[in-house]
């Protein structure tokens, strides 16, 4: 961790968009996680897969910035 408290820095307050630096991350979220959540109504284990993919995606985006 470069900064233990990123929310205290000015950059965090000024640029919340940096949490989503790539539109592709949003696209992956929309086209993978949302359909999986819908399908989770039929197969409940897909819900956990969607949660796992979301966490991995957010971790990847966090490391990337």
The set of residues, in sequence order, having a beta carbon less than 8 Å from that of 28 and lying 6+ positions away, is 57
Q: Name the band, by pLDDT with cuts 50, 70 and 90, for residue 14.
A: very low
pTM more than 0.75 = no
Q: Name the band, by pLDDT with cuts 50, 70 and 90, for residue 5.
A: low
What is the rounded distance in angstroms from the CA atom of residue 9 to the CA atom of residue 5? 7
Task: Report domain extents, the chain.
Answer: 23-64
> Tens digits of per-residue pLDDT, 32-62?
777 767 776 677 776 677 788 888 888 888 8
């Amino acid at each position: 961790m470069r900064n233990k408290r990123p929310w205290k820095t000015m950059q965090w307050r000024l640029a919340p968009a940096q949490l989503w630096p790539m539109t592709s991350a949003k696209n992956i979220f929309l086209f993978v996680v949302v359909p999986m959540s819908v399908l989770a109504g039929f197969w409940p284990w897909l819900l956990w897969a969607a949660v796992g993919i979301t966490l991995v995606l957010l971790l990847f985006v966090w490391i990337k910035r």
